[in-house]
Every structure is written in C-alpha cells, then in structure tokens.
Amino acid sequence: MKSPTRSHFAASLVGGAVVAGTLLVLGVAGHGTTETIIEGSPFAAQPAATGSTRLTAHSIYERDAPGVVFVRAQIIQQVQDPFDLFPSQERSISTGSGFLIDGTGDVLTNYHVIEGANRTNGVSVQFEDNVTRTAVVVDQDANNDLALLKVNLAGVPEVHPLALGDSTTVQVGDPTLAIGNPFGLDRTLTSGIVSALQRQIQGPSGFSIDNVIQTDAPINPGNSGGPLLDAAGRVIGINSQIATGEGGQGAVGIGFAIPVNTAREFIPRLKHDGKVEIADLGATGVAATGSRHGAVIRSAPDGSPAAEAGLGAGDVIVSVAGIKVSSMGDVLQIVEAHLPGQTVSIRARQQGHVHTFGVKLGSRTVSAPQ
C-alpha cells in the first residue's frame, strides 16, 4: 500500500532535498525541433553473437524511436493577482515524451506531463515527420505518475509499438537506453546502466512510488514519459524524475524511472472499446454579455450535477476551481481536466449575489479519435 513519504528519495514534484541535490519532474515548456542526437553508449559496437538478445544502441534506436512521441499539453493554471479578489486563469504548454504500447493508438506517458489539460482536446502527440494528432486522455493515475492517451494512427508513417519488458528481472549494472525529447530536442537517445534498484520517489499526488529504477543514462526535462529500455530494446521503465545539483536543472547522472510492471497493472484499465468517460457538469451556457463577466447557464436539467448543487438557468458562473471564466468553453475545459465523481467549487452569481457551490461532477461518454 502506498503512503505519503518523506524519504530522501521522495521529494515533492516542485523540488525537495535529496542526497544529490533536488528531485525534479522532467516536463519542460516550449516547442521542440526535429533533431536526432545519439550519445555515447556502453552497448556493443557490433551486433551480438547469434542467439543473443543484446543489440547495438543504434539498432534499438532505429527500431524503437518511431514508437516514441512528443507530447504537448495545454495547461490551465490558477494565478492569484494580489489586486484581484479571485484567482485568474493562465494557460501554458507542458511538453514531454510518450510511447506506443500497441497498434491501436494507445500511448503511455507521465501524469505530470498532462496534469491540468483538457482531457478531450488539450493534448497532442507528434510522431516522426512532424505528424501530429490530438489525443484523448483515457485514464490517469496521479499516485504512480502515469497516464494513458488514445490517438488516431491514420496517416502515421510508421506504427511501431514498443515491447514491454519485466522490471523484476532488472539488475544493477544492466545497460539502459532512454529515448525522448529533452529540452524539446526531438528524438534523442542516451545510454547508461541501472545504477540502483528499489528506490522510492514521490508521485504528483504526494504518495510514494515504490521499486523505482535508478539509472545514470542522461535524462533531462522533456524526457518525462519516455521509455527506459534494456539491452534487448524492451521497456523496463517510464522516465519520470531526476536529481540535480543544488540550483541546477540538468542531469547529474541520477534519474528515476517508474517500473514497467507498475504500468502493466495500470494499462488494463484502458477502455479498448474506444469510449472514454469525461467529467461533466450537465449544463449548457453562453458567455455573459454587457457589464457581466462569466458564463450564463442556459439550461441545467433536473438531476444534472449542476442542478443537484443548486445551479440553474440564468445563473452566471464566474469561476470554477478558483479559476475565473469568461465563457462556457472555459467552464468545460476546467471541468474536463477533472475526473468524474470529483467535487469542484463553482462560484456563481445568483439573483444578484455571488454564492459558492460544491458540484460533484457526473460523467459523459465521448468517442476516442478514430
């Protein structure tokens, strides 16, 4: 069972003290350029002997790199202006990596890469040749820093899912490869070894993630969600955090990957029927006009989450989860960044007075990209 932890390897996602410095998640803002970088490798320079599963770093890169994607998420953040009564809304871009786990468009990445994004249209993935697809966030697990995306593979030049290995067989000293997008540099390969096992780090939810793999393969911001591979090119972990020197943000030879066996337990939750459950308010509306600011509710049918919380037609929503809104589109984007069943705070103007409503979100079914 997982529990909140304060061990020296389990710092908060915004940085906490560890032996080597600071643990940082690996997401990075900005836009990537198409560039291939292959750093030095402990792998054999020539193909291994007949019958061996060990390959060269280059052959693994050629085979697996097409299955690694560049993930971009539009994030809505709450920003408090000291001169404003309510927090305002700020949009930013989070970038990271991910990889195909099958041939139907299922992509595994880190939760912290897509945290705060609209689950239906706030995330995109880029394949080689700059082919980009909108992704639906099918499932997410903040405790283990994992997320599953679904994309339409039509027109993707090469569909190559990565093979999943067994992280229980990994040993200290085993060669490792990491493929990802550090600092936005697309399709980068780095190499190293497994430098320790059974480490413990802290997930985005504040709970500990156990049995984490430590590697000295250079991984940096932007590698988040990318695969850590073994000598046969199989995924043994999902790159998630790094330790840096005090005050720095680059790799110092200590990286941490979520064990692939943890992801194996998460993956079966994926809904393979192409349907995704999205958080729903159960109300429609339009942007307020004139001197009013917010979103005017047009309808909130009886039994809907909005109506159950006391909201109705004519009420003007001014903020959701502490974020100011100016249209119903803003409302839906914030709502859909949550999970069905979660309760969000909505402030709304009702009969000339502003009230706070706790709304337990319902769900609606949408089709994943086809």
Residue among 64, 106, 112, 124 flagged as catalytic: 112
Concerning whether 81 is annotated as a catalytic residue, the answer is no
CB distance 2 to 210 below 8 Å: yes
Q: Which helix (H) or strand (E) holds 60?
A: helix 57-64
- Give how far the C-alpha of residue 18 lies from the chain's centroid of Cα atoms, to the nearest Å: 24
Strands 22-25 and 235-244, by their bridges, are antiparallel
Sequence-distant (≥ 6) Cβ neighbours of residue 78 within 8 angstroms:
87, 88, 89, 90, 321, 322, 323
Q: Residue 90, SS3?
A: strand
Concerning whether 112 is annotated as a catalytic residue, the answer is yes
Residue among 41, 94, 208, 224 flagged as catalytic: 224
Q: How far is CA 85 from CA 80, 82, 319, 321, 327, in A?
A: 8, 8, 11, 14, 19
- The 8-class DSSP code of residue 216 comes to -
Kindly tell me the burial class for residue 199, based on how many C-beta atoms sit within 10 Å of its own C-beta (0-12, 13-18, 19 or more). buried
Concerning whether 88 is annotated as a catalytic residue, the answer is no
- Separation between Cα atoms, residue 59 and residue 56, nearest integer Å: 5
Residue among 64, 139, 141, 145 flagged as catalytic: 145
CB distance 9 to 195 below 8 Å: no
- Separation between Cα atoms, residue 54 and residue 278, nearest integer Å: 43
- The closest of 105, 325, 94 to 204, measured between CA atoms, is 94
* Residues acting as catalytic residues: 112, 145, 224
